[in-house]
Amino acid sequence: MDKKTIEKLELNKILASIALFAVLPQTKRGLVEEEPCTELSQVKKLLDLTSEADDALFHAGVGRIEEFPEISDELERSAKGSTLSCKELLGVSLLLRSARVAYRSIKTLPQAPLLCELADGIYFDESLERDITDKILSEDEVSDYASDDLYNIRRSIRSLNEKVRNKLSEYLSGEGSKFLQEGIVTMRDNRYVLPVRAEYKTRIRGFVHDRSASGATFFIEPEQILEMNNELRELAAAEKEEIERILAQLSHRVGAMADQLAVDIERLSEIDRAYAKAEFSYKNKCIRPLINNRGIIDISKGRHPLLDPKIAVPVSVALGRDYKILLVSGPNTGGKTVTLKMCGLFCMMAACGIFIPAAQGSEVSVFEKIFCDIGDAQSIEENLSTFSSHIKNIIEITQAADSKSLVLIDELGGGTDPDEGQAIAKAVIGYLLKQGCSGIVTTHYTALKEYAYEQKGIENASMEFDMNTLQPLYRVSLGVPGSSNAIAISRRLGLSEEILENAVANLSEGGRQFENILRTAEQSKIEADEAKKEAEALKAEWKEKLAEVNVERDKLKKEREKLFLNARVESRRIVNERTEQAEELLAQIEEIAHKRDLTESDLIRARTLKNRLADKAYLSEAETEDPKGAANADFARLKAGDRVFVGVMQSAGEILSLNQKKKEAEVQVGNMRLNVKASDLYEMSPVVKKQKNSQRDRIQVVRKIEPVREVKTEINLLGMTVSEAIQEVDAFIDQAVLGELDEVKIIHGIGTGKLKEGIRNHLRGMKNVAEFRSGVYGEGEAGVTIVKLK
């Protein structure tokens, strides 16, 4: 790919930004020098590698490549037998560690085959890595424990140093101290000496090593430590030899694997490069684009990566399917050049395996060559004007472009006479279409806009401009050419109104009409787009409100069902209670009736019982029967006062009024008034009617609901039989349902388990029981059953 094109489209700046995310210096250099790939399969592989790197870093939690210095030259030297320094060996250990960490982290990612393939070729030697770090403490220090010999030598040196210092300290503290210039021990030529005053140099027997510049001090090695200093020199030489031996041994091991470590550097750098691209893509909110080699570009909401994302307006551009060349027109500073550069840059970024800042589903093509002519390329050195330089670029493009090329030209035919410029522009576009090139061309020429309507394979597009605010909107509108709006922009920038009026007068009639049509069409499209957005917003708002209404309706429906359920439970409880009371009263009357000799007190008691029975209100058992098999009531023949069976209440009721339009009836069921649909009204059976008529004179039927008493949350059934317990459980569950409890506790104990089993068998058949379980620790465990109610 041409270096000039890379710089014009600013791919070099993108690569420099990505290099900041790289760890290794060789990776940074390689990224800055990288060029786009032109093979579709290779581009897909590069994008796959970036995808795997993104998943590894930001989903699998894999760490970055660990840093190590550039040591290629050191590896070469070690392979030839040279001994490496401590610093160089520490660099090798960092490489070994980086290779080991990368290999082990990547091999945990079976979903990353390309990274795993790179990791498979990585070599590391944990033993050598450990030996280097254990034996070398810093760039200029070897550990005492690097070898037994080194340890013994250094121990001997320390011991001998101590003896020398002790011996010399006698001079410092004894009578000889008066001969010394200073009360210190110093060194000359790596030998311990004493600073002796010049006048006393003969008083201390020994070897003179040096004297001060003034001649006042002589540095003398006393003869008493001469041998010890000699021994120290020998030990120092032995220490140096041992260190060299240790370093040579480690260097030899490095040299034996130098070729493999060189491969490590290449593979780690390649992984580091993929990680850097993934991190750049993540930080800039980029997506992986779709790729083709058919010249199709379809960018949705693309942002130029070098613009501030907070202020950059996303742009959508498409070409390559129904047309090969896009002709973009519109006002200056409207974003034409940025859009043109963005398309070329996105294609180059994808060809380097870099994701693009656009919406999901965006697609770019892989091109063998990308050409561009953007900006003022005037050259003083080559004596070229703007137009000459422009035409020189056009000549190079037309000579080399083919069907696998992308051509980007800003202001084609500009910089010269408009008539000639338009003619050249038409000819160039026609030639590019003939060659099958894909491309984007920007222009202000009216003739080119008209040409795009006539010529197949080219499509008009415009950068939208708001005539109300006289501001560019930075949006591409396909299918419609744009007005340059030069006069409007000049007015906004403050050009004299007199000059502007003369400018309008100088426009040709056809030019004025065409520009007015374009402006009107452009403004109409902007207004239509705004209206469409408002309509879509309103539609979304009403959909949201409708969803809320539906939720509220479902909620009310559930509450209504719960109310009806509670009402049925309460009605059954009342019926059962009153039936028991009636049976008890009738039994007492029957007991009196069976007496042979009735006394006056018996008659008074019987009359009292009869009055009490007459005062009670009961519902006939037939009136609460399930209406299975009963026919729906004929709604057209019903009238106020008729008695019907209400299915939802499982009870009889009396019709108060009818709504023929809604097919609903207002029905009195006990103390409740309900609006019931016709489909839920059933005819009363003849038996019920007959019983009702026969009992009307002697029993008054009334619904009388007593206030609900305080509801208990648990019941104790200890000591009861199964049948007794079941009766208690029925009443307890009914009261709990009426009290709207969610959960209750039944205490039955453990015992033989019969009571527990009988209760649970009964609970399984109860409609109001959702589920039950044994108690946990603190609730009574197996001695209780916790019941969850519907």
pLDDT digits (tens, 9 = 90+) for 678-709: 888 888 755 444 444 444 444 343 333 344 45
Determine the pLDDT at residue 482: 66
Contact 297, 364 (CB under 8 A): yes
CA atoms within 13 A on the CB side of 306: 16
Determine the pLDDT at residue 376: 55
Poorest-confidence range of 263-267, 455-459, 572-576? Answer: 572-576
Residue 148 or residue 564, greater confidence: 148
**620 has a pLDDT exceeding 50:** no
Determine the pLDDT at residue 179: 67
Q: Which of 274, 645, 316 is nearest to 474 (CA)?
A: 316
Beta pairing, strands 784-789 & 743-747 = antiparallel
Determine the pLDDT at residue 734: 82
Choose the most confident range, by mean pLDDT, from 81-85, 179-183, 460-464, 516-520.
81-85
**Which amino acid does the sequence have at 493?**
L
* Per-residue pLDDT band at 120 (split at 50, 70, 90): very high
* Per-residue pLDDT band at 512 (split at 50, 70, 90): low
Partner residues linked to 327 by β-bridges: 441, 460
Determine the pLDDT at residue 622: 39
Determine the pLDDT at residue 630: 64
Contact 200, 213 (CB under 8 A): no
DSSP 140-158: TEE-GGG-HHHHHHHHHHH
Non-local (6+) Cβ contacts of 230 within 8 A are none
Distance CA 746, CA 767 (A): 17
* Per-residue pLDDT band at 525 (split at 50, 70, 90): low
DSSP three-state, residue 112: coil
Determine the pLDDT at residue 119: 94
Determine the pLDDT at residue 487: 64
Three-state SS string across 373-441, please? Answer: ECCCCCECCCCECHHHHHHHHHHHHHHHCCCCEEEEECCCCCCCCHHHHHHHHHHHHHHHHHHCCEEEE
Mean pLDDT of all residues in 324-344: 86
Residue 134 or residue 388, greater confidence: 134
* Per-residue pLDDT band at 625 (split at 50, 70, 90): very low
Determine the pLDDT at residue 742: 86
What is the distance, to the nearest Å, from the Cα of residue 79 to the centroid of all Cα atoms in its chain? Answer: 48
**201 has a pLDDT exceeding 90:** no
DSSP 572-625: HHHHHHHHHHHHHHHHHHHHHHT-SS--HHHHHHHHHHHHHHHHS----GGGGS
**382 has a pLDDT exceeding 90:** no
Residue 388 or residue 786, greater confidence: 786
DSSP three-state, residue 684: coil
DSSP 458-501: EEEEEEEEETTTTEEEEEEEETS-----HHHHHHHHT--HHHHH
Partner residues linked to 142 by β-bridges: 136
Cβ count within 10 A of residue 495: 14
Tokens of 754: 């019969």
User: Which residue's entry shows tokens 């409890």?
Assistant: 741
What is the distance, to the nearest Å, from the Cα of residue 44 to the centroid of all Cα atoms in its chain? Answer: 24
* Per-residue pLDDT band at 185 (split at 50, 70, 90): confident
Pairs from 446-451 (Cβ < 8 Å, separation ≥ 24): 446/511, 446/514, 446/515, 447/422, 448/327, 448/329, 448/412, 448/413, 448/422, 449/327, 449/329, 449/481, 449/518, 451/426
Residue 615 or residue 109, greater confidence: 109
Tokens of 241: 């030899």
Determine the pLDDT at residue 20: 95
Using one digit for the tens of pLDDT, what is the confidence trace for 534-558?
788 888 888 888 888 888 888 887 7
* Alpha-carbon distances of 705 from 165, 221, 398, 566, 773, rounded to whole Å: 113, 123, 98, 12, 33
Q: Which of 516, 521, 458 is nearest to 487 (CA)?
A: 516
**477 has a pLDDT exceeding 90:** no
Kindly report the average pLDDT of the chain as a whole number: 82
* Per-residue pLDDT band at 267 (split at 50, 70, 90): very high
Does the pTM of the predicted model rise above 0.85? no
**436 has a pLDDT exceeding 50:** yes
Poorest-confidence range of 158-167, 381-390, 579-588? Answer: 381-390
Choose the most confident range, by mean pLDDT, from 101-110, 646-655, 702-711.
101-110
* Alpha-carbon distances of 200 from 186, 188, 196, 219, 367, rounded to whole Å: 18, 19, 7, 12, 92
Determine the pLDDT at residue 49: 96
Tokens of 733: 């569950």
Distance CA 521, CA 312 (A): 26
Poorest-confidence range of 238-242, 285-289, 522-526? Answer: 522-526
Using one digit for the tens of pLDDT, what is the confidence trace for 574-595?
767 777 777 777 777 777 777 7
Determine the pLDDT at residue 641: 86
* Per-residue pLDDT band at 362 (split at 50, 70, 90): very high
Poorest-confidence range of 227-231, 425-429, 640-644? Answer: 227-231
Determine the pLDDT at residue 596: 66
Mean pLDDT of all residues in 727-739: 84
DSSP 28-78: HHHHHT------HHHHHHHHHHHHHHHHHHHTS-PPPPPP----HHHHHHH
